[in-house]
Amino acid sequence: MVVARGRPVTGVLGWSDMKGLAMQVIGSRWFVVFASFLVMAAAGATYMFGLYSPDIKSALGYDQTTLNLLSFFKDVGANVGILSGLINELTPPWVVLVIGAVLNFFGYFMIWLGVTQRISKPKVWQMFLYICIGANSQTFANTGSLVTCVKNFPESRGVVLGILKGYVGLSGAIITQLYHAFYFDDTKALILLIGWLPAAISFAFLRTIRYITPVRHPNELKVFYNFLYISLGLAGFLMIIIIVQKQTNFNQSEYGLSAAVVLFLLFLPLAVVYIEEFKLWQAKRLALLEPVKNIVVADPPEITETSARKSSSTTSGDITKARREGQPEIRWWQNAFSPPERGEDYTILQALFSIDMIILFLAGICGIGGTLTAIDNLGQIGASLGYPKNSISTFVSLVSIWNYLGRVFSGFVSEYYLSKYKFPRTLMLTLILIVACAGHILIAFNVKEGLYVASVIIGFSFGAQWPLIFAIISELFGLKYYSTLYNFGGSASPIGLYILNVRITGHLYDKEAKKQLAALGLRREEGKELVCVGAECFKMSFIIITAATFFGALVSLILVARTRKFYKGDIYKRFREAAAAEESAAPVTTEMETKNTVMPAENGSAGTREANREKEIEMKG
């Protein structure tokens, strides 16, 4: 960071100047955020299951229980990311992204081959394996990019989580537009698209997504708000284009035009990155051309993941050791039930055995499990309630957009109210779970045109839960082992999905479908899909889901009571102190030393070097 006075640097940039500026932009923390936006925008294929699941069901002859079990294995893969978390603890982010890209392509490509009958019909267990592998790539993308950004911006974690998870929420609508532009109405080709597109984006940004020393900037939050405005513009455009597409029949070229606008808005944050880095680059040039009036503080060097973990505050294990100096060292498993204060760095076992984590995990099972059950069954719910086929993609897109709005709302709004009013994130989680109950009730009682409203409520509620849960984990248990704990928090989703989707929703759907066949005097033919029609298909299921979600809200109130005192304090104080320590430890050049030393211009042009020589002559004179 450079603190200096002087006039702005003007003039035409030379090739060396432009090259130096470009390298600074690509190597910056803000470019890591931009690259993560693109990775996240293609990492939400699991939320589009309702769009391509009818193809799987009809092509492979599955009943609803089997399809819901497939959905369960999809969610297991998408949320059980302990492996990606542990790998990320030991390797740089690019390794995690490579593994995720390979898994993504293999899993969905094999599903596409099976659905299009380019290979012999896969066995059911093989389909379970393929979708679990493909969906598990999402945890690698999340861990490699999102966790990296949280560690790069520790004091803005709520905002970071909100906007990055928001792009994941928008990914369904984004990929839908691209899919129509590339393949028009070939829904089977959608499976191929979600196989190669995320993998290609991850490979494109392998070396740019990495850990960089956190440096406090006074306008950090303002930059994130600029990103937010762009993403809101993207969400608004997607909402408008979805409504227009529902009213009119688009051809492929018109879909191509809408996809071009989507791509433009996706890359627009790069302009924000360039502006911020150009300001810093100008300040550096100014420092090289004029004597510094105050102090020059060298920019901190890039750090590896290992040093990033070491730069965290003292861990609980170190505290224990310091307190018991002279005594035998405690083994890693012996203090599992002796956690430090909330906000300090817990070990993995200390966090997993914490009552706070157990309560949060149970609330996630009820809340996320219920909303995801609704999202995964949108296609079947719409068909059973008599909605036209083209409305199914509308439901998916509505869920995707409101999923995004829920994520950015809970990220930005919770951060604002936490910093200004000490409003705990845990209480906001309780409120979101109560809102989700309204969406489930609309489905249960088949309110006229209610599925459109339910898609909005459920998408918003589902999206809002994720940044809150992940931010709460980072605040209560620290960032030292956040890669692993982040993924453990996500594993509540498949447990809730198995109970509420497979064991309850799928079972009751098939039971009602068989009852309808029996009433008509028919029997199900082997290999034919089992279809249920009418409001009774999902009524009892969503009454149960409503009750489970409300129970989750009541459970989360316990966590609100337990953490009330913690959220009343300054939870980011330790990170500000760490940043201040980093800045005070950086090399400092005094005014006198600066006046008697000509500083070399890094990546400077010939004009810059000539100006330095003239400055040297002037000072010697």
Q: Are strands 588-589 and 2-3 parallel, antiparallel or unpaired?
A: unpaired
pLDDT digits (tens, 9 = 90+) for 320-348: 444 444 555 556 555 667 778 888 888 88
The structure tokens 């970071």 sit at 160
The confidence score (pLDDT) of residue 562 equals 93
List the CATH number of the domain containing 224.
Answer: 1.20.1250.20
Orientation of helix 482-490 relative to helix 64-79, angle to 10°: 170
Question: What's the rounded mean pLDDT across residues 175-197?
Answer: 86
The confidence score (pLDDT) of residue 259 equals 92
3-class SS of residue 333? coil
CB-side neighbour CA atoms (13 Å) of 607? 10
Q: How far apart are CA 503 and CA 170, in angstroms?
A: 29
pLDDT digits (tens, 9 = 90+) for 509-544: 888 888 888 887 777 666 566 788 888 999 999 999
The pLDDT of residue 61 is above 60: yes
CA distances (Å), origin 15, targets 18, 285, 308: 5, 15, 34
Q: How far apart are CA 522 and CA 491, in angstroms?
A: 41
Tokens of 64: 């609803």
Give percent of the chain with pLDDT exceeding 90. Answer: 28
Residue 496 lies in a domain: yes
CB-side neighbour CA atoms (13 Å) of 474? 30
| Domain span at 206 | 31-273+364-571
Residue 157 lies in a domain: yes
Q: How far apart are CA 440 and CA 459, in angstroms?
A: 11
Alpha-carbon torsion angle 278, 279, 282, 286, nearest 10:
-170
pLDDT digits (tens, 9 = 90+) for 473-514: 988 998 888 888 888 888 888 889 889 988 899 889 888 888
pLDDT digits (tens, 9 = 90+) for 43-52: 877 777 877 8
Q: Can you name the residues that pair with 297 across neighbouring β-strands?
A: 588
pLDDT digits (tens, 9 = 90+) for 144-165: 888 888 888 887 878 888 888 8
Asked whether 201 and 38 are in contact (CB, 8 A), the reply is: yes
- How does DSSP classify residue 146? I
Task: Give 121's contacts (C-beta < 8 A, 6+ positions apart).
Answer: 60, 114
Q: How far apart are CA 354 and CA 566, in angstroms?
A: 15
Q: How far apart are CA 29 and CA 222, in angstroms?
A: 15
Asked whether 160 and 153 are in contact (CB, 8 A), the reply is: yes
Neighbours of 297 (CB within 10 A): 16
Give the chain's domain count. 1
Strand order in the sheet with 2-3: 2-3, 295-297, 588-589
b/e per residue 578-588 (b: at least 16 CB within 10 A) = bbeeeeeebee
pLDDT band of 599, cuts 50, 70, 90: very low
- How does DSSP classify residue 586? S
Orientation of helix 157-183 relative to helix 220-247, angle to 10°: 30
The confidence score (pLDDT) of residue 582 equals 59
The pLDDT of residue 386 is above 70: yes
Task: Give 70's contacts (C-beta < 8 A, 6+ positions apart).
Answer: 53, 56, 62, 127, 128, 131
Question: What's the rounded mean pLDDT across residues 441-450?
Answer: 89
Residue 125 lies in a domain: yes
Neighbours of 257 (CB within 10 A): 12
> Which stretch of 67-81, 312-326, 462-476 has the lowest confidence by average pLDDT?
312-326
Q: How far apart are CA 111 and CA 62, in angstroms?
A: 14
Question: Alpha helix (H) ranges present in 116-268?
Answer: 124-141, 148-152, 157-183, 187-204, 220-247, 252-267
411: left (phi over 0), alpha (psi -120 to 50) or beta: alpha
3-class SS of residue 507? helix
Residue 202 lies in a domain: yes
Tokens of 432: 């979101």
Question: What's the rounded mean pLDDT across residues 305-329?
Answer: 45
3-class SS of residue 2? strand
Residue 522 lies in a domain: yes
pLDDT band of 607, cuts 50, 70, 90: very low
Residue 269 lies in a domain: yes
Residue 334 lies in a domain: no
Question: What's the rounded mean pLDDT across residues 196-220?
Answer: 85
The pLDDT of residue 463 is above 60: yes
Residue 55 lies in a domain: yes
The confidence score (pLDDT) of residue 575 equals 63
Q: How far apart are CA 135 and CA 129, in angstroms?
A: 10
Residues for the chain: how many in total?
621
Q: How far apart are CA 485 and CA 496, in angstroms?
A: 18
* pLDDT winner (highest mean) among 43-57, 451-465, 572-586: 451-465
| Phi/psi at 552 (5° precision) | -60, -35
Where is pLDDT greater, at 208 or 376?
A: 208
CA distances (Å), origin 202, targets 224, 265, 376: 22, 19, 26
Q: How far apart are CA 603 and CA 582, in angstroms?
A: 26
> What's the per-residue H, E or C state across 213-231?
CCCCCCCHHHHHHHHHHHH
Report residue 426 CA to chain centroid gap: 19
List, as one string, the DSSP characters of 579-607. HHHHHHHS-EE-HHHHHT-----TT--HH
